[in-house]
């Protein structure tokens, strides 16, 4: 890389910009792929994602949080042990810091509902109790994530959320007016 010329890097930047214009399409395809992902639940991972986003929308959440809910488990296939962090990294340049923090931590906060079955501490999330977005993550998990495994819940299709996803991912990445304040991801 240190031998690259300005012209070569301008050329590559042009190609990268063009490629990045297809990000929303790639995210939609990744969501579709969740239809055939991890099994064993009463709904597919895609249905879970759609139901999470639908619950957020019905709750009056803004587009950032709805898209966070839609994409929160996108990392399941590639990063099963840190799927939350992968999903947070994907959305971080395009949504406010609170949503990134919530998505980043939702996996740990979800343990509240099942950790006791494995002899783990269901209150491990409490190490973040003093964080300004702690309650937001608690609410996200309670209202949008843990409840979104209901095969009878009326859930719109991915097409319903596509315009919203395209709007969010058409924003300028890392726009301070959008991402606002960011807090440390660790306690």
DSSP string, 147-163: T---TTS----HHHHHH
> Please, what's the largest Cα pairwise distance for the chain?
59
Burial 116-151 (b: 16+ CB within 10 A, else e): eeeeeeeeebeebeebebbebbbbbbebbbbebeee
pLDDT of residue 73: 96
Q: What's the CA gap between 48 and 94, in Å, rounded?
A: 22
Where on the phi/psi map is residue 64: left (φ > 0), alpha (ψ -120 to 50), or beta?
Answer: alpha
Asked if 112 and 68 touch (Cβ cutoff 8 Å), the reply is no
Cβ atoms within 10 Å of 75's Cβ, excluding its own: 22
Q: What's the CA gap between 34 and 49, in Å, rounded?
A: 9
Averaged pLDDT for residues 129-150: 97
Name all domains of the chain by residue range, CATH numbers in brackets: 6-171 (1.10.3210.10)
User: At residue 50, does pLDDT exceed 90?
Assistant: yes
Averaged pLDDT for residues 124-140: 97
pLDDT of residue 58: 98
Asked if 70 and 161 touch (Cβ cutoff 8 Å), the reply is yes
pTM score, two decimals?
A: 0.93
């Amino acid at each position: 890389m240190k031998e690259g010329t300005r012209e070569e890097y301008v050329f590559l930047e042009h190609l990268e910009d063009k490629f990045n214009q297809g990000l929303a399409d790639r995210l939609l395809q990744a969501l579709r792929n969740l239809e055939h992902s991890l099994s064993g639940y009463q709904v597919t991972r895609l249905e879970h994602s759609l139901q999470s986003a639908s619950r957020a929308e019905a709750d009056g959440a803004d587009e950032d949080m709805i898209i966070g809910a839609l994409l929160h488990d996108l990392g399941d296939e590639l990063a099963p042990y840190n799927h939350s962090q992968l999903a947070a990294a994907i959305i971080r340049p395009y949504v406010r810091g609170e949503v990134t923090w919530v998505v980043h931590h939702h996996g740990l906060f979800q343990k509240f509902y099942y950790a006791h079955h494995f002899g783990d501490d269901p209150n491990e999330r409490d190490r973040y109790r003093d964080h300004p977005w702690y309650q937001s993550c608690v609410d996200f998990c309670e209202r949008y994530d843990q409840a979104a495994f209901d095969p009878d819940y009326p859930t719109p299709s991915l097409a319903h959320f596509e315009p919203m996803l395209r709007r969010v991912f058409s924003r300028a990445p890392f726009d301070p007016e959008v991402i606002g304040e960011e807090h440390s991801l660790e306690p």
